[in-house]
């Protein structure tokens, strides 16, 4: 990752409204963003390219966010994964961290909060 390249972000959330909110906000902040509402499609995209940052919901039909996190970290250990969830529990938070998540953000959140987390993840990627 070089400093003149745009940081790439993948968003996976089965609620279209979340992608609709996050994608333009991140693009406006200078990120290159792809969003998915189906985990299978997001997983397929990961076979084609790597992302610097992945933001994933936890509770979804098909492959859930925890399995997605595991797959991303297995395929690209350096990709920073941010978990967002509407059903937060201590267990899922701890499990996420054990699997190497960068941060765990419970819904609801303001765009500013997630942008701050993405910026921190980006800083970590760039300093690696």
What is the closest distance, in whole angstroms, from the C-beta atom of residue 85 to other proteins in the complex? 9
Q: Is 119 in the site for other proteins (CB under 8 A)?
A: no
How many other C-beta atoms are found inside a 10 Å radius of the C-beta of residue 87?
10
Binding residue (CB under 8 A) for other proteins from 47, 48, 77, 90: 90
CA distance 40 to 125: 25
Binding residue (CB under 8 A) for other proteins from 2, 3, 4, 17: 17
Number of residues that bind other proteins (CB under 8 A): 23
Distances (CA, A) of 10 to 4, 89, 90: 19, 24, 25
What is the closest distance, in whole angstroms, from the C-beta atom of residue 45 to other proteins in the complex? 24
Question: Is the backbone of residue 32 left (phi > 0), alpha (psi -120 to 50) or beta?
Answer: beta
Q: Is 94 in the site for other proteins (CB under 8 A)?
A: yes
Largest alpha-carbon pair distance within the chain? 39
Task: For the segment 48-67, give every residue that binds other proteins (CB under 8 A).
Answer: 59
What's the chain's length in residues? 128
Residues that bind other proteins (CB under 8 A): 15, 17-18, 21, 59, 86-90, 93-94, 97, 103-110, 112-113
């Amino acid at each position: 990752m070089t400093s003149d390249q745009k940081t790439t972000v993948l968003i996976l959330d089965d609620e279209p409204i979340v992608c609709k909110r996050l994608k333009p906000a991140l693009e406006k902040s200078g990120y290159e963003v792809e969003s998915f509402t189906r985990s299978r499609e997001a997983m397929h995209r990961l076979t084609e390219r790597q992302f610097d940052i992945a933001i994933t919901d936890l509770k979804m039909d098909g492959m859930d966010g925890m399995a997605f996190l595991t797959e991303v970290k297995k395929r690209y250990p350096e990709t920073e994964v941010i978990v967002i969830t509407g059903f937060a529990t201590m267990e899922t938070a701890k499990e996420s961290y054990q699997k190497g998540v960068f941060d765990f953000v419970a819904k609801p959140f303001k765009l500013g909060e997630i942008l701050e987390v993405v910026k921190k993840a980006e800083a970590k990627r760039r300093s690696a």
